[in-house]
Structure 1
Amino acid sequence: IELAGAISPYDPAVYAKGADNLAAMLEQKILQRDPEPCYYVYRLQAGEHVQTGLVAAASVPAYDDNLIRKHEYTRPEKEDDRVRQIDAIDAQTGPVLLTHRVHEGLRELVNQAMHGTPEVDVTTDDGVRHALWVVADPTRIEAISALFDPAVSGDIDALYIADGHHRSAAASRVAAQRRQAGGPGWSGACEGFLAVLFQADEVRILDYNRVVRDLNGLSREAFLGRVAERFAVAARPGAVRPGESGEFGMYLPGQWYRLRVDPARLAATDPVARLDISLLAEHLIEPVLGIHDPRRDQRIDFIGGIRGLGELVRRVDSGEMAVAFALYPTSLEQLMAVADAGEVMPPKSTWFEPKLADGMVSYPLCRRHVVE
């Protein structure tokens, strides 16, 4: 909004303006740096859903060593954009959403830190309430850190990237570049990246649904016949929201259907093959609709569950799309199994809500951001 409208979002002037804005906010003390290293407790509330996490600088070496585990590929152009942004502003302003298996000891420490009035308490335009507490007590910091240190306790031996693969990959690249170059551009802070860690039972994954523009040259009747060769198909009077893995909702103009896959296919040993999106792709999207590369094929689009099943109906009934598919949400257990196996999920497998706020906490990489 402060640059010419026709400028490319990847123009160097865009990154330079971001650096100027950050420097100005520090100079004006709109943003203030805590005097000592600390954690933060970050609570999000969206309606009845509440999740509470720990803001920290996650370890780039741990990411590089697969102790912070991935489950999806990144796109080079998006990763490059994030590298340029981090390098230009010399800070990370967008956190990575990490999760880990439930640890009640950490939950207790985090809950104990939420005393008094939060440092930040704001409700954003989407109705999500964001609250932040500073964790500055050295004893509590030490107790939290010990849970992640294999030399002390190491109770939590793996973290999982839920959302933010491009941000974490970019942080690793920036650290490697500065490590290799040395000199004033490098500091120990470069070996970390901004993250918020949540217990696995607090993170909410919504469905990530599909709409397709045409039936690949098939009539409606022929398409339904091909689907019935691979799924149990039943017409339903109302919207079909899948109630379990292996069940799908399918919408054609004016009519919902419930699809069920052969239960034996859910017992596949490969954790990726067991995913609902993999089953739908293998048995319908690819062989019937002819879509083999959903990353690039313009015939398919993806709709986050936050927009509801009504959005699927709207896109089809408008004539823009020919068919829609509602999926059962991927579970965190499935995500962790894929990451533990060193595999990746198909594109657009997970939709996390609520979203973390950018800029509420920033992580400067070098001392040049300290304003006296």
Structure 2
Amino acid sequence: MVKIIPFTAVRPTKDKVGLVVSRSYEDYPVDELNTTLSYNPFSFLHIINPGYKFHHDISGERRFSLVKNRYLEFIEEDIFLKDKNPAFYIYKIKTRKGSFCGIFAGASIDDYRKNNIKKHEATLQTREKLFKEYLKTVGFNAEPVLLTYPDNNRIDEIIKSITVQNPEYEFATTDKAIHYLWKVDDGNIVSEIQQVFKELDCVYIADGHHRSASSNLLAEELQQKNPKHTGEEPYNYFMSYLIPESNLKIYEFNRMVKDLNGLSKEEFLIHLDEYFRIENRGADLYKPSKIHHFGMYLEGEFYSLYLRKNYPFTNSLSELDTQILFVTILKPILGIEDLRNDSRIEYGYGKYNTIKMKDSIDNGKFKVGFSLYPVKVSQMKQIADDGLKMPPKTTYIEPKLKSGLTIYEF
């Protein structure tokens, strides 16, 4: 049983929505960030980067307070307006590669605790606590957690019946995507959507493990401070975007390492031979075409690495290519034990990442690079079902949602 609720969103006005919404703050190169802040006074980036107003970098709790101030200013200036009634929001993105369509809703913290909302990624306590303090200070969440659910004909039919109507928003962004938003506040439709999700055993976090974990920490704190706690307060939910599994896109992260841990090229290849069949493909660019096949670029040449058929699998995590790479190469041969914090390893993603990886190695920034086959949704679900956690940077998942489109206050 999965509980979702409609919520009363704070949203940009129709005439400014395309100017307000932004990508995740970390996604902006410095030059683009400064240009946007300089020439677009309506950008949501002004809220989450409040120090720009004072030409000063501000961090910690002081920054959190200023974020709240900038947010209140956007409301005072009627850039943001709050809806009058709780609603679900159908959101569709059309890109050059395809389209995504799902539902903005409030997801239950209680479901998160009961594992009705399943996780596949480990989180860092320091990040959880930091973001919890951020949420507590600003009082809103502008970036939804991406949840995925099994394809469902009833939900598809409801969404189809709504998306043939005129949307609340229709706007373009500079990445050439077209965005549409429909507000769903009809009581019968809201109840029908809720009933469908009540019939599901679980949903899965696709992206946003730290955001959901931080929301859980905040709910625990506010519950303890509230003697009249009922379980229905806004802090008992977090904003989510629910999308069917078939509409989820998962891409791989490549791994690039700065040295061979003191080994020569020949010694390194001999070590690899224990677990892999190795083929030198020369200058021919090689990318894996199925699981348990790996690509490698070393000293100007591409290699294919095929996992030997007698490799011992013990559980769903052991079958994951990122885990195989870690336990057979990165840790025992290259000496990388901390995938999150070791400065010798970096990660890359994107359509042309194999070429970018090659260029970085040819330029001497890295010594060796590995390309992998993308994780399947079924693998991600199985690992979550088994209560296991993927290595960091295992999946790059789309859609990547805009900040500031719908805001959830608590």
TM-score, normalised via structure 2 length: 0.83
Match of 1:19 in 2: 68
Unaligned runs of 5+ in 1: 366-372
Q: How does 1:39-188 map to 2 (within 5 A)?
A: 39-149=88-198, 154=199, 156-182=200-226, 188=233
Q: How does 1:236-247 map to 2 (within 5 A)?
A: 236=281, 237-247=283-293
Does residue 9 of the first structure (1) align with residue 54 of the second (2)?
no
Partner amino acid, structure 2, of 1:314:
D
Per-residue deviation, residues 134-168 of structure 1 (Å, max 9, x unmatched) = 1122111111000122xxxx1x2211111101110
Shift of 1:307: 4.9
CA-based RMSD: 1.9
Tell me, yes or no, if the aligned pair for 2:218 and 2:235 is still in contact at 8 Å.
Answer: yes
Tell me, yes or no, if the aligned pair for 1:128 and 1:354 is still in contact at 8 Å.
Answer: no
SS of 1:53's equivalent in the other structure is: strand
Distance 2:117 2:90 in 1: 20
Among candidates 235, 245, 269, match of residue 200 of structure 1:
245
Does residue 295 of the first structure (1) align with residue 345 of the second (2)?
no
Partner amino acid, structure 1, of 2:95:
A
What is the number of equivalent residue pairs in this alignment?
358
Partner amino acid, structure 2, of 1:132:
L
Among candidates 248, 260, 268, match of residue 294 of structure 2:
248
Quick one: percent identity of the two aligned structures? 31
Unaligned runs of 5+ in 2: 1-48
Tell me, yes or no, if the aligned pair for 2:50 and 2:70 is still in contact at 8 Å.
Answer: no
Distance 1:89 1:258 in 2: 49
Does residue 273 of the first structure (1) align with residue 318 of the second (2)?
yes
SS of 1:14's equivalent in the other structure is: helix
Distance 1:123 1:220 in 2: 49
Among candidates 296, 300, 304, match of residue 349 of structure 2:
304
SS of 1:201's equivalent in the other structure is: helix
Match of 1:262 in 2: 308
TM-score, normalised via structure 1 length: 0.91
Distance 1:185 1:8 in 2: 35
Tell me, yes or no, if the aligned pair for 1:306 and 1:353 is still in contact at 8 Å.
Answer: no
Distance 1:306 1:26 in 2: 39
Partner amino acid, structure 1, of 2:221:
Q
Distance 1:85 1:128 in 2: 30
Per-residue deviation, residues 220-267 of structure 1 (Å, max 9, x unmatched) = 1221222123211112242111110000110013111111002344x8
Per-residue deviation, residues 320-345 of structure 1 (Å, max 9, x unmatched) = 10000000011111111011111111
Per-residue deviation, residues 338-357 of structure 1 (Å, max 9, x unmatched) = 11111111111111133111
Distance 1:306 1:39 in 2: 33
Shift of 1:364: 0.8
Match of 1:343 in 2: 388
Distance 2:400 2:158 in 1: 24
Which stretch of structure 1 is more off in the superposition, 49-58 or 17-26?
17-26
Shift of 1:105: 1.5
Tell me, yes or no, if the aligned pair for 1:209 and 1:305 is still in contact at 8 Å.
Answer: no
SS of 1:32's equivalent in the other structure is: strand
Shift in CA distance, 45/81, structure 1 to aligned 2, threshold 3 Å: farther
Distance 1:352 1:51 in 2: 12
Shift of 1:184: 9.2
Shift of 1:99: 0.6
Tell me, yes or no, if the aligned pair for 2:129 and 2:217 is still in contact at 8 Å.
Answer: no
Partner amino acid, structure 2, of 1:211:
M
Tell me, yes or no, if the aligned pair for 2:254 and 2:353 is still in contact at 8 Å.
Answer: no
Distance 1:104 1:73 in 2: 32
SS of 2:103's equivalent in the other structure is: strand
Per-residue deviation, residues 178-227 of structure 1 (Å, max 9, x unmatched) = 11101699971111100001101100000111000001111112212221
Among candidates 252, 256, 279, match of residue 234 of structure 1:
279
